[in-house]
Amino acid sequence: MTGTTRIPAAEITGLKGAMIKRFARKALGTVPTSIGVYWHHQKVLMDMAGFGGKLKKWDRCDEQLKSFAHMAVASRVGCTWCLDFNYFEAHNLDLDMTKAREVPRWRDADVFTTLEREVLAYAEAMTETEPTVTDEMVASLRSQLGDAALLELTAVIGFANFTTRPNVALGIESDGFAAACGLKPLAERATVGS
């Protein structure tokens, strides 16, 4: 992590804290800074984590498309923690790492299919304030993915916005998950508006 969080991380204590730290170390190799920050309001932490866990059980949309979409949101919003973590997760899910590392500059990269580009554009359009999603975007994705997968993709992108924006606001930055497992660095984000 390169910066300091805007709310200092709390000491993670108690039986629940011990269980969370043990789980985090087993799954991630470390206890993320974000857990300490969110420990100040454990219900928020647990509810956000709980919804994230439920989201992982959804199976109507391709996992790679969902992963790329989440990373596109994180890149657009500037959430280094989410971008790093999702790159790490893509590695753990055995997704296409060449594509995953190029998400921050997807417009300039030649590795993405037409559908993947549409998903990345849709994720960014949902992330803009005001959202810039068009009827044409939805119609094209609907025809390629079907209604259930498009609804799932849309909910995943909404969740990505739900998690990335608080992290940026609170100054929660990358904990170095990708570097810790030897992944190549992510491509630098192309200039905004390109």
User: What residues does each domain of the chain span?
Assistant: 14-180
User: Of 152, 126, 147, whose CA–CA distance to 65 is shortest?
Assistant: 152
> Please, what sign has the CA dihedral across residues 120, 176, 92, 57?
negative
pLDDT digits (tens, 9 = 90+) for 126-160: 999 999 999 999 999 999 999 999 999 999 999 99
pLDDT digits (tens, 9 = 90+) for 21-61: 999 999 998 999 999 999 999 999 999 999 999 999 999 99
Instruction: Give the confidence band of 193 by pLDDT, cuts at 50, 70, 90.
Output: low
Provide the pLDDT for residue 3.
66
| pTM of the entire predicted model | 0.92
Pick the CATH number of 14-180 from 3.10.580.10, 1.20.1290.10, 3.40.140.10, 3.40.50.10420: 1.20.1290.10
